[in-house]
Amino acid sequence: MSDREARRKLIGPWRNIHGAVWSIGLGILAIKGWWWPGILILIGISGVIEGLLRLYVPEAFEKETTGKPITPGMSMPQSNPMMAPPVEVSSKPTFQEHRVELLPQVCPSCNGPIRGHEVKWTGPQSANCPYCGTNLPMSKA
């Protein structure tokens, strides 16, 4: 992976499948006692699965933010002279409250379980299902 490419991590059920492959693989290695060559094969299988997911299911990955957080009053470092000048960040913190209690228990489209930390928030009171991407209806407060 190059420095220019953002790191990506698995999300949703794809993360669970990747974890299951490792759990089952380590269990087989422990039962059979094939630690030395087996761990290399397990790493290879894991890499192949991740590569196939990147190729066929690109939405299974979410960009991971890297670098230092920007604090109020700091400007972005200018890395390219052709870029626009840095913008000053206001000193007032902007806080959007996500109303987790308004989310349904399951997605009406795919019946996937809805958890506040897994949904894709599209607004303070608007979210999409992490599995199928459907906009979730919020209950009345």
pLDDT digits (tens, 9 = 90+) for 69-124: 555 555 555 555 555 556 665 555 554 577 778 888 888 889 888 887 888 888 77
75 domain residue, yes or no: no
Query: How buried is residue 91: exposed, middle or buried, by Cβ count under 10 Å (0-12/13-18/19+)?
Result: exposed
Final residue in a domain of this structure, among 63, 81, 106: 63
Most confident of 8-17, 79-88, 130-139: 130-139
79 domain residue, yes or no: no
Residue range 65-70: mean pLDDT, rounded: 53
43-62 pLDDT tens trace: 899 889 888 877 887 777 77
Q: Over 60: is that where the pLDDT of 15 sits?
A: yes
Taking CA 118 as the corner, what is the angle to CA 26 and CA 122, rounded to the nearest 5 degrees? 150
3-state secondary structure of 116: coil
133 domain residue, yes or no: yes
Is 101 found in the same domain as 56? no
Residue 86: what pLDDT?
Answer: 60
Name the residue range of residue 107's domain.
97-141
Residue 69: what pLDDT?
Answer: 54
3-state secondary structure of 114: coil
For the record, the structure tokens of 96 come out as 């959007």
45 in Cβ contact with 25 (< 8 Å): yes
More confident residue, 131 or 10: 131
Mean pLDDT of the chain: 75
Q: How many structural domains is the chain composed of?
A: 2
Residue 17: what pLDDT?
Answer: 81
Final residue in a domain of this structure, among 63, 88, 108: 63
- CA–CA dist 129, 101 (Å, integer): 15
3-state secondary structure of 9: strand
- CA–CA dist 13, 98 (Å, integer): 23
3-state secondary structure of 21: helix
More confident residue, 13 or 1: 13
3-state secondary structure of 47: helix
E strand or H helix that includes residue 8: strand 8-10
